[in-house]
Chain A
Amino acid sequence: MARTLTPKRKVAFTVLAWVLGLLIFFPILWTVLTSFKTEGEAIANPPSFLFFDWTLENYTEVQERSNYLRHVINSVVISFGSTAIGLLIAVPAAWAMAFSPTKRTKGILMWMLSTKMLPAVGVMMPIYLIFRDLGLLDTLLGLTIVMTMVNLPIMVWMLYTYFKEIPGDILEAARMDGAQLGQEILYVLAPMAVPGIASTCLLNIILAWNEAFWTLNLTAADAAPLTAFIASYSSPEGLFWAKLSAASTMAIAPILILGWFSQRQLVRGLTFGAVK
């Protein structure tokens, strides 16, 4: 039986949740506010929180200097493309490991996870040279392949933990009813694992959207996504904090909106399975 909270405790927990939420959100809020300041106000000490001359000049400047729309399209193609390809590989892999485990399944899972333990820069040169020889540098195809490979272990792991929650007997019953392998995955397993698959997709899209090592190092002009767009406004010699904040706000806006609308699904998915 769930413990009932006294009104006092409820207020305390609510206040604590709000404080924590604001604390986590504050850097983003500050970035958004700075994007509406002049460069002079952006570095003012003490800083002004709300009472400054609001301006849109940074957004105008960023629009003039950069091809924002092209960066957005590149980000969408890379993050959604890598998620779609990753899903095609990860669902059957996770199905096999969850419902037909062998004595080496755990080892394979650990090995897959171990690829995430090596810093990306460790494999930078081989991948760069392979991409150069295959003509994949600064291409959307190349970036999509890399992002798929980078996030595949996480996708397999997440899906594996969700699939493990589904009773194998249901699948067995479907098989007894004459379902083929493809039908079993598509019509029986997938509908039951929708929250898990959805949250895996969302998390993967967010990870691919924010990835800033490969997207910076393997692109130049054609395939550069929003991470490269933000990076182009950083400067160690000259204060362009307001413009950098405007670029950052524009870069995070699409994914923030997507996250906002899908938060229920995301939370449901993340609290379902092994991490619940």
Chain B
Amino acid sequence: MKLSRLLLGTCAAVALTAPALADTTLTIATVNNGDMIRMQKLSGDFEAKNPGIALEWVTMEENTLRQKVTTDIATKGGQYDVMTIGNYEVRIWAKQGWLLPLDDLGDDYDADDIMPAIRQGLTYEGTLYAAPFYGESSMLMYRTDLFEKAGLTMPDDPTWSFIGEAARKITDTNDGVYGICLRGKAGWGENMAFITTLANSMGARWFDMDWHPQFDQPEWKAALQYYVDLMEDAGPPGASTNGFNENLALFQSGKCGMWIDATVAASFVTNPAESKVAEDVGFALTPHGEGIDKHGSWLWTWNLGIPAGSEKVDAAKAFIAWATSKAYTEMVAEKDGWANVPPGTRTSLYENPKYQEAAAFADVTLKAINAADPENPAVEPVPYVGGQWVGIPEFQGIGTAVGQQFSAALAGNITVDQALQNAQRFTEREMTKGGYIQ
């Protein structure tokens, strides 16, 4: 009797947890961030409009997601029908023939409304291979109250020398306030995202036109020395282990005078429920070197793509068209307010007065996205596309190894010169192995 009850209970539990009966079940791999979770919550609207399609969500942390979808698509594992991927991957994967074209998302999709810089980053040989869900650049966030107290005014177009001076002036270690918080944790998407854009805006570049690494050039020395000195004088203790979340926590608790990071942070630091300094935050473009007309803005988008070989292409396209449409944006605005719509993909959003009114950071975000130039990320010509990354498959490995050297320099374990020498030697070896350097 007990056993039969147990079996019955188990069967009932399994039945309850099974997905709704539908002709097609789409498995969607996605990243755990606020905008994606909101999409998951609102996806009932898609299922209601498409009764034959059920959605199964697999939410992962960014690095796990990247590892899993890369393994799956490279081995044709077929575990996912829709994948959330970054703009770093899109062109590389499209070149490999791993993604399906997305040029036919319906008559009312209005692909021309996608911001040109974003669309270009997702296009390979004239064909769109992924649809952008949200986009971000980098920006400078600063404490208006601390600036006022120190008698400083943030210029419209700040330079690195001004930022250096201001950060040192604001720093008050007795009060636990540090002039600037920057990423220090090693990783190609961690400290190297920031340092690469800093270097770009100071005239440095990763490779010359013959793919020779450039860490032995004076521009890299100037950029890395500036970063290490600034963090030593005006950064928080233990900065070599700080990433986005650590700096967000520091800024929100009033410990940072300035913070340069992803534009998505703007909505967090201005949210009074989470941030102690929500009322005292100003925004500006990321700085540039003296006399250099290149902002270190990065450009990152989270996009939805369909792996080649998928058997549920029509359903997957219908979902992608729904999730990245103007109608979805309007639905989010209606339910959660305009400040919470996924930003950075469509031109029409930034022309919308309701959005401009609701999001104080909208104007700077748009300027930052427009200032990013993935086709020409450095001052001098380069053989790659990118911004905060270099668009070659080897970059994940090289970027992380170089990031470890720079993080060690920040921690004071090695000198700036040693870090650059090690980075140069390692990158040269990997690029030769990869066949870039003959």
| Interface residues, chain A, with chain B CB atoms under 8 Å away | 38-40, 43-45, 64-65, 67, 69-70, 73, 125, 128-129, 132, 137-138, 216-217, 220-221, 224, 228, 231-240
Are A236 and B37 in contact, CB atoms less than 8 angstroms apart? no
CB contact under 8 A between A217 and B68, given known A236-B61, A239-B249: yes
Are B248 and A239 in contact, CB atoms less than 8 angstroms apart? yes
| Interface residues, chain B, with chain A CB atoms under 8 Å away | 10, 13-14, 16-17, 27, 29, 31-34, 37, 40-41, 56-64, 67-68, 71, 75-80, 190, 243-245, 248-249, 252-253, 255, 262, 264, 268, 273-275
Residue of chain B at shortest CB distance from A39: B274
Q: Which of B64, B76, B274 contacts A231 (CB 8 A)?
A: B64
Are B13 and A69 in contact, CB atoms less than 8 angstroms apart? yes
CA distance A40 to B268 in the complex (A): 11
What chain A residues lie within 8 Å of B57 (beta carbons)? 221
What chain A residues lie within 8 Å of B71 (beta carbons)? 128, 217
Q: Which of B17, B32, B76 contacts A240 (CB 8 A)?
A: B32
Chain B CB count within 10 A is highest, among A39, A43, A69, A138, for A43
CB contact under 8 A between A235 and B32, given known A69-B17, A220-B27: yes
Shortest C-beta distance, B87 to chain A (Å), equals: 15
Shortest C-beta distance, B58 to chain A (Å), equals: 5
Are B79 and A236 in contact, CB atoms less than 8 angstroms apart? no
CA distance A132 to B63 in the complex (A): 22
Are A44 and B41 in contact, CB atoms less than 8 angstroms apart? no
Are A237 and B33 in contact, CB atoms less than 8 angstroms apart? yes
CA distance A132 to B32 in the complex (A): 26
What chain B residues lie within 8 Å of A237 (beta carbons)? 33, 62, 244-245, 262, 264
CA distance A125 to B67 in the complex (A): 12
Are A220 and B17 in contact, CB atoms less than 8 angstroms apart? no
CB contact under 8 A between A67 and B62, given known A236-B245, A237-B262: no
Are A138 and B62 in contact, CB atoms less than 8 angstroms apart? no
CB contact under 8 A between A233 and B253, given known A128-B75, A217-B68, A220-B58: no
The binding surface of chain B is classed by DSSP as mixed
CA distance A236 to B138 in the complex (A): 16
CA distance A67 to B63 in the complex (A): 23
Shortest C-beta distance, B159 to chain A (Å), equals: 27
What chain A residues lie within 8 Å of B255 (beta carbons)? 45
CA distance A268 to B173 in the complex (A): 54
Shortest C-beta distance, A96 to chain B (Å), equals: 33
Shortest C-beta distance, B389 to chain A (Å), equals: 15
Shortest C-beta distance, B336 to chain A (Å), equals: 14
CA distance A216 to B13 in the complex (A): 23
What chain B residues lie within 8 Å of A38 (beta carbons)? 273
CB contact under 8 A between A236 and B16, given known A38-B273, A132-B75: no
Are A236 and B62 in contact, CB atoms less than 8 angstroms apart? yes
Are A239 and B58 in contact, CB atoms less than 8 angstroms apart? no
Shortest C-beta distance, B67 to chain A (Å), equals: 8
What chain A residues lie within 8 Å of B75 (beta carbons)? 125, 128-129, 132
CB contact under 8 A between A220 and B62, given known A45-B253, A64-B41, A232-B32: no
CA distance A237 to B37 in the complex (A): 13
Are B79 and A43 in contact, CB atoms less than 8 angstroms apart? no
Chain A CB count within 10 A is highest, among B14, B16, B32, B79, for B32
Pick 16 A–B contacts, CB within 8 A, sort by A: A43-B252, A43-B274, A45-B249, A64-B41, A69-B16, A73-B13, A128-B71, A217-B68, A220-B58, A221-B58, A232-B60, A235-B62, A236-B63, A237-B262, A238-B32, A239-B249
CA distance A235 to B61 in the complex (A): 5
What chain A residues lie within 8 Å of B67 (beta carbons)? 217
What chain B residues lie within 8 Å of A125 (beta carbons)? 75
What chain B residues lie within 8 Å of A239 (beta carbons)? 245, 248-249, 252, 268, 274
What chain B residues lie within 8 Å of A137 (beta carbons)? 77, 79
Shortest C-beta distance, A123 to chain B (Å), equals: 14
Shortest C-beta distance, B3 to chain A (Å), equals: 15
What chain B residues lie within 8 Å of A69 (beta carbons)? 13, 16-17
Are B14 and A73 in contact, CB atoms less than 8 angstroms apart? yes
CA distance A56 to B173 in the complex (A): 37
Shortest C-beta distance, A252 to chain B (Å), equals: 18
CB contact under 8 A between A234 and B61, given known A43-B253, A44-B253, A239-B248: yes
What chain A residues lie within 8 Å of B16 (beta carbons)? 69
What chain B residues lie within 8 Å of A220 (beta carbons)? 27, 29, 58, 68, 79-80
Q: Which of A40, A73, A138, A234 contacts B273 (CB 8 A)?
A: A40
CB contact under 8 A between A221 and B68, given known A237-B262, A238-B245: no
What chain A residues lie within 8 Å of B61 (beta carbons)? 231-232, 234-236
Shortest C-beta distance, B95 to chain A (Å), equals: 22
Are B41 and A65 in contact, CB atoms less than 8 angstroms apart? yes
Chain A CB count within 10 A is highest, among B14, B61, B62, B268, for B61
CA distance A70 to B57 in the complex (A): 13
The 4 closest A-B pairs by CB, nearest first: A70-B17, A234-B61, A232-B59, A220-B79
CA distance A102 to B101 in the complex (A): 63
Q: Which of A39, A67, A216, A234 contacts B32 (CB 8 A)?
A: A234
Q: Which of A65, A73, A236 contacts B244 (CB 8 A)?
A: A236
